[in-house]
Chain A
Amino acid sequence: MAETVTMDLVSPEKLLLSDAYEMVVVPGTEGDFAVMAGHTAVTSSLRPGVISIYEGDVEKDRIFVNGGFAQIAEDKLTVLAEEAIHVADLDRTDLEQRIQNASEDVEDAKDDEARRKAQENKDQLEQLLEALG
């Protein structure tokens, strides 16, 4: 058994998940990164995307988070997400609604910076929709 990293996935309403995994890929704001045992201490914000949990080379689980934060220290990964849904439970119509909201955000954005961010969000959600098939 390879070394593992403990992941706590917490939403405001409850502790969703707390278990040890070999590798977890987290959608950081500045790019996805994989967390394995011995990872350096990092605090990062997350963009809306999918957390993938790997056991060996096999992707075991996929969880969609709607942005949040991740903190890694001493083989312990804490993900704070306001919303987390298993990709298997993700609803197509729900996602389409989110994209709709995101495009409204793009239109309502006050300055270029906000528009760029909203656009990014929207793109990511669209990618996710494609991934869902």
Chain B
Amino acid sequence: MANLKELKNRITSVTSTQKITKAMKMVAAAKLRHAEEAANAARPYAERMESMMVSLAAGLEGREGPRLLQGSGSDQKHLLIVATGERGLCGGFNSSIAKAGAKKADELIAAGKDVKILCVGKKGNDALKRKYGHLIIDLVDLSGSKRIGFGDAQPIAQRALSMFDNEEFDVCTLFYATFVSVLTQEVTEQQLIPASIPESSEETENDIDYDYEPEEEEILADLLPRNVSVQVYRALLENSASEQGARMSAMDNATRNAGDMIDKLTLQYNRERQAAITSELIEIISGAEAV
């Protein structure tokens, strides 16, 4: 009964695949919890820095601000930072970020701009290097760090800042996935340099008239580079939560599919077995009758 044996082998192999995907789902769930905690813990700093920046920028009132805020006055050279994960098996997470980056690159190239790409995470690099290999200036590998720390974000921000100082680009855009829920992650495109200051919606909060020490310009000049690091850090945290969320739902689906497949194969196996028994019985009975 070669066919029966084959079916049995397939059932065993699908069962072990299901075990793996189930385990991966649980690991992703645990990691997601950590990633969410880290993202929540990082929120106060980012929020306060933002409110400080809003009040400072409002205090400038049309005076000449630092270059990081005003931009270099041109938008010819673009730097795209595409932040993805280091591992696959997480549904459309990596590819959708890479796709968003590629789309932007295409648009910019079509508009006659110069584009450079900095990849954070191996997967984005893999996805982009075939078509945009000549545009990729570097790959930042984060696979070594198990949990994203501020120390991981800083070198990326430093790199972007020093490139900006050397006038290697005019506008820097960051691509990452915002964590909405386990099921949905939204690919986000954020302008990093020049800094985009959110419009203050609640006027009441900014009513306080601060004294500045030293002058607004000096504080801003100090604050803006740090803000870039904070934004990168926040994006990386969002990304890691999104990655784990995407992996969790992908693995959940895979587990369910494997379950369906096992059911189907088992049904087929049982039918084949029954058919074999029946045909054996018929052989025996007809043999007995012939005697």
Give the interface of A toward B (CB within 8 A). 8, 10-15, 28-30, 40-45, 69, 71, 73-74, 78, 80, 82
Task: Using A12-B229, A13-B149, A82-B226 as known contacts, list a sample of 12 further A-B pairs with CB atoms less than 8 Å apart, ordered by residue number in A.
Answer: A8-B48, A10-B44, A10-B48, A12-B233, A13-B41, A30-B213, A30-B214, A44-B219, A45-B213, A45-B218, A69-B219, A73-B208
In contact, B48 and A78 (Cβ under 8 angstroms): yes
| CB<8 Å pairs between A and B, sample of 22 | A8-B44, A11-B150, A13-B41, A13-B149, A15-B41, A30-B213, A41-B208, A42-B210, A42-B212, A44-B214, A44-B219, A45-B213, A69-B219, A69-B222, A71-B48, A71-B210, A73-B208, A73-B210, A74-B208, A78-B48, A82-B150, A82-B229
On chain B, the residues within 8 Å of A45 by CB distance are 213-214, 218-219, 222-223
| CB-CB under 8 A for A80 and B48, given A29-B214, A41-B209 | yes
Tell me if B55 is interfacial: C-beta within 8 Å of chain A: yes
Give, as a whole number of angstroms, the nearest-CB distance from B238 to chain A: 14
Chain B residues near A8: list those with CB within 8 A. Answer: 44, 48
- Identify the 10 closest CB pairs spanning chains A and B, nearest first: A14-B41, A44-B213, A12-B150, A10-B45, A42-B211, A43-B210, A41-B210, A73-B208, A15-B44, A12-B45
| Interface assignment of B156: CB less than 8 Å from any CB of chain A | no
Residues of chain B touching chain A, judged by Cβ–Cβ distance below 8 Å, are: 38, 41-42, 44-46, 48-49, 52, 55-56, 149-150, 153, 208-214, 218-219, 222-223, 226, 229-230, 233
The answer on a CB contact under 8 Å between B230 and A41 is no
Contacts of B214 in A (CB 8 A): 29-30, 44-45
Q: Which residue of B208, B210, B212, B230 contacts A12 across the interface (Cβ within 8 Å)?
A: B230
- Chain B nearest CB, measured from A47 CB (Å): 10
* Alpha-carbon distance A69/B224, docked complex (angstroms): 12
CB-contact partner of A44 in B41, B149, B212, under 8 A: B212
Could you say which of B44, B52, B153, B209 contacts A71, with CB atoms under 8 Å apart? Answer: B52
* B219–A41 CB distance below 8 A: no
Complex CA–CA separation, A84 to B209 (angstroms): 28
Identity of the chain B residue whose Cβ is nearest the Cβ of A72 in the assembled complex: B210
Chain A residues contacting B42 (CB-CB under 8 Å) are 12-14
**What residues of chain A lie closer than 8 Å to B209, measured between beta carbons?**
41
Q: Inside 8 A of A43's CB, which chain B residues have their CB?
A: 52, 55-56, 210-213, 219
